[in-house]
């Protein structure tokens, strides 16, 4: 871009910001409230303080319009459900008795009422709570939260823009409520929902909002003509309302495609588009429809989902091209900054030179402000920033940290045969059944067990130097002994060691592989109060030494029952990391797969008869557009097979997936060629079992009968009902009994009771089968 100026001063903005606070203050306050140690007033006070601090940080960084409404106690889609009054019938009494407790009841469930189903937010690792709608749903506007927060920001003297989930995306992400007629489509409720949105918009205008952002990321997916017509109708109606603020319709995560022309013509004042990655195609598409004359364009040119520094010169070039396509062009990240950690400057253990390659939320806001300044006043106004950025990009490209010739040579030598088991499934399953001798409906867990207070104290003591490695390892052994003894006592068939040595299912491995960087404060919200620290995949990957064999073999020495070796699969290692952006994902996946293959082979050599390689992110990482999926699934399934195909036929390979819509990847699940798969199914009432059956899935499967993301304890009869539903789709000789997911986030009392009920349910149903 040359030094010419934009027609109007470009304004920097963002769509959302990390919620948790620099030390996860929100998590601590909410969990304290759940345990009765924090009052509702104190929780609200902490939340208000965090909002104010976020807004002030954004304003100090030069952000013109701060987002409001993006802050949430649990989930912004659940906030939308409250805003439109779509409370499920089983939770209405709890909400009526107390809004805050009722809100958490919808998220977590109670002993008497199941929570809302949870699934992944598009292709991210963030989980949202799925709205339940039916033909009898009555919407009613309740914008108290949204209006209150915009008033808070305005009172601080800030320009504020409320951010809402748009009505079309809200309905497209919803599911039919229990009892709704078969085939009910929530989108048929659009005409009933739009007046409620119009009322909310009027209230926000009355609260002082000049602009309101309506997020419609569902429109970047493949959509039917009927769905596109619904979007056109929605924004024609909302845009034609007289008592409303200016409307900014936002999309992100991919190219807008067929929806772009209809939104460009809609009577709204602005569009926010993603111009990163595959969504860079939005630029040509926008030019093809004649741009946005008379409208505002918010250009997402800073990647809101990854942590690498922006190529400022390239972004300025894109922005310069966009100048002629809209009345005004403002600058933003590609999506909410919810998906990245807060501040790279807090990382003291990363080499300062490598740290210059990274941009977390605070650094991204600075990049956005720099780009807006350069767009408005020319590149000369940001010459120093551009020079420093060029140096950082060159240092990363030339760094030996990023390339290992031996790793690349090994990956290049992989053949198709390396990614195939030596015997077909029918032969393997006979050998495995002979070796394992398991009963009908074998019971197991997915991997992790609760992390006790004693374990956390020991881990903190090790970090602080209060105990030595020997004392910490004895604590690990004690935890494993407790977990093994408990599983034997209640009668589980295939055991796990409980993973007490692991801080996180990705980070634990990343810290032992070359090519990864670990953070100390890089927390990102996964769901509710569950935060993770995704490692940073910066260079080529290899495994210097065994990672899990020691503790797995120790656990096996305590019991005659089989103990599973537990690993995280290559796709999930990528998806739940901040992955390098300087080579194709498939190349990186192959490197990780080879490192894991070495671990799988070592576990088998040490005597592990069952090895589980978890791939919960396989569906999550699926491209949003169907045209992009076959290439992804080819390298993703190959990477899994490459990591698991070196074992003998009588070694049983398990995998696990959770909290996603599996119907789109059932064929890929088959292509993994795992012997057994466990999947989340409790909240969806065994939907995945039916999807596997409709596909003709030929292998063993364990659809979960215990929802581990809720503190409620399912009764033995409830678990038995789910198990019977599973048997309607999967034959008994191929059905396993297990929870939905790992148990790390649960406490021991609820875990103990729930697993006892799970085993009792399996025994009951075995008896029914024997007597039939």
Phi and psi, residue 320, nearest 5°: -60, -40
Question: Residue with structure tokens 């208000």?
Answer: 48
Please count the other Cβ atoms lying within 10 Å of the Cβ belonging to residue 545: 9
Could you tell me if 245 and 209 are in contact, meaning their C-beta atoms sit under 8 angstroms apart? Answer: yes
Chain centroid offset of residue 630 CA: 21
Here the tokens at position 100 are 């805050």
Could you tell me if 538 and 354 are in contact, meaning their C-beta atoms sit under 8 angstroms apart? Answer: yes
C-alpha 145/C-alpha 79 separation (Å) is: 8
DSSP 522: -
Please count the other Cβ atoms lying within 10 Å of the Cβ belonging to residue 465: 7
Going by C-alpha positions, the residue among 304, 424, 295 that lies closest to residue 361 is 304
Going by C-alpha positions, the residue among 18, 13, 580, 585 that lies closest to residue 308 is 580
C-alpha 202/C-alpha 218 separation (Å) is: 24
Phi and psi, residue 477, nearest 5°: -60, -40
Nearest 10 degrees: Cα torsion 450, 452, 455, 461: 130
C-alpha 739/C-alpha 566 separation (Å) is: 16
Going by C-alpha positions, the residue among 55, 61, 733 that lies closest to residue 364 is 61
290: left (phi > 0), else alpha (psi -120 to 50), else beta? left
Q: Is position 709 annotated as part of the catalytic site?
A: yes
Residues 6+ apart with CB under 8 A from 92: none
Please count the other Cβ atoms lying within 10 Å of the Cβ belonging to residue 39: 12
Question: Residue with structure tokens 């119907």?
Answer: 663
Residues 6+ apart with CB under 8 A from 333: 14, 15, 300, 302, 303, 304, 364, 368
Annotated active-site residue in 64, 91, 339, 709? 709
DSSP 406-438: HHHHHHHT--GGGGS-SS-HHHHHHHHHHHH-P
- Write down the H helix ranges in 466-528: 469-490, 507-510
Active-site amino acid positions: 709
């Amino acid at each position: 871009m040359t030094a010419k100026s934009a027609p109007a001063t470009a304004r920097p903005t963002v769509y959302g910001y990390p919620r948790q606070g620099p030390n996860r203050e929100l998590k601590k306050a909410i969990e304290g409230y759940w345990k009765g140690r924090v009052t509702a007033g104190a929780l609200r006070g902490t939340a208000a303080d965090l909002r104010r601090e976020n807004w002030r940080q954004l304003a100090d960084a030069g952000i013109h319009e701060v987002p409001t409404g993006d802050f949430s106690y649990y989930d912004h889609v659940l906030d939308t459900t409250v805003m439109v009054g779509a409370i499920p019938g089983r939770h209405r009494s709890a909400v009526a008795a107390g809004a805050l407790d009722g809100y958490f009841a919808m998220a977590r469930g109670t002993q008497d009422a199941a929570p809302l189903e949870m699934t992944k937010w598009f292709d991210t690792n963030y989980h949202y709570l799925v709205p339940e709608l039916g033909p009898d749903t009555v919407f009613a506007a309740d914008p108290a939260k949204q209006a209150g927060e915009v008033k808070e920001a305005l009172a601080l003297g800030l320009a504020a823009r409320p951010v809402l989930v748009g009505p079309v995306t809200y309905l497209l992400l919803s599911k039919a409520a229990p009892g709704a007629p078969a085939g009910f489509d929530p989108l048929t409720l659009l005409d009933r929902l739009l007046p409620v949105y119009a009322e909310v918009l009027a209230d926000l205008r009355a609260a002082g909002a000049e602009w309101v952002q309506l997020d419609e990321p569902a429109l970047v997916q493949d959509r039917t003509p009927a769905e596109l017509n619904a979007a056109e109708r929605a924004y024609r109606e909302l845009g034609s309302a007289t008592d409303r603020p200016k409307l900014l319709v936002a999309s992100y995560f991919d190219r807008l495609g067929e929806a772009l022309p209809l939104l460009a013509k809609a009577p709204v004042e602005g569009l926010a588009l993603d111009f990163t990655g595959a969504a860079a195609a939005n630029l040509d598409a926008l030019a093809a429809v004649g741009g946005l004359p008379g409208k505002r364009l918010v250009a997402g040119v800073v990647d809101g989902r990854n942590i690498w520094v922006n190529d400022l010169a390239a972004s300025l070039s894109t922005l310069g091209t966009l100048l002629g396509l809209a009345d005004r062009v403002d600058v933003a990240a590609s999506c909410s900054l919810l998906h990245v950690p807060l501040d790279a400057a807090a990382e003291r253990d990363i080499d300062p030179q490598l740290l210059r390659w990274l941009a977390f939320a605070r650094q991204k806001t600075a990049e956005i402000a720099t780009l807006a300044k350069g767009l408005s006043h020319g590149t000369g106004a940001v010459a120093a920033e551009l020079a420093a950025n060029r140096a950082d990009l060159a240092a990363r490209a030339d760094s030996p940290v990023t390339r290992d010739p031996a790793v690349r040579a090994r990956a290049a030598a992989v053949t198709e045969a390396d990614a195939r088991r030596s015997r077909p499934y029918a032969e393997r399953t006979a050998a495995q059944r002979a070796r394992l001798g398991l009963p009908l409906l074998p019971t197991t867990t997915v991997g992790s067990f609760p992390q006790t207070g004693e374990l956390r104290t020991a881990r903190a003591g090790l970090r602080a130097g209060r105990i030595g490695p020997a004392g910490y390892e004895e604590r690990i052994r004690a935890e494993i002994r407790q977990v093994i003894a408990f599983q034997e006592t209640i009668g589980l068939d295939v055991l796990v060691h409980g993973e007490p040595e692991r801080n996180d299912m990705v980070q634990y491995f990343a810290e032992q592989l070359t090519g990864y960087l670990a953070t100390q404060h890089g927390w990102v919200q996964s769901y509710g109060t569950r935060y993770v620290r995704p490692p940073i995949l910066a260079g080529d990957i290899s495994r210097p030494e065994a990672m899990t064999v020691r503790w797995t073999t120790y656990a096996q020495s305590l019991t005659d029952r089989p103990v599973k070796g537990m690993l995280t699969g290559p796709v999930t290692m990528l998806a739940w990391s901040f992955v390098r952006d300087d080579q194709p994902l498939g190349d990186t996946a192959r490197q990780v797969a080879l490192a894991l293959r070495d671990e799988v082979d070592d576990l088998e050599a040490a005597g592990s008869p069952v090895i589980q390689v978890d791939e919960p992110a396989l569906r999550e990482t699926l491209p949003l557009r169907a045209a992009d999926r076959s290439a992804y699934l080819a390298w993703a399934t190959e990477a899994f097979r490459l990591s698991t195909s070196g074992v003998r036929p009588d070694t049983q390979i398990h995998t696990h997936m959770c909290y996603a819509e599996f119907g789109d990847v059932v064929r890929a699940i088959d292509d993994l060629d795992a012997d057994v798969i466990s999947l989340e199914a409790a909240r969806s009432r065994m939907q995945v079992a039916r999807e596997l059956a409709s596909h003709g899935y030929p292998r063993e499967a364990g659809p979960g009968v215990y929802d581990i993301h809720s503190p409620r304890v399912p009764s033995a009869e409830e678990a038995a009902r789910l198990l019977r539903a599973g048997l309607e789709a999967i034959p008994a000789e191929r059905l396993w009994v297990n929870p939905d997911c790992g148990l790390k986030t649960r406490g021991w009392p609820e875990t103990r009771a729930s697993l006892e009920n799970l085993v009792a349910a399996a025994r009951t149903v075995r008896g029914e089968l024997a007597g039939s």
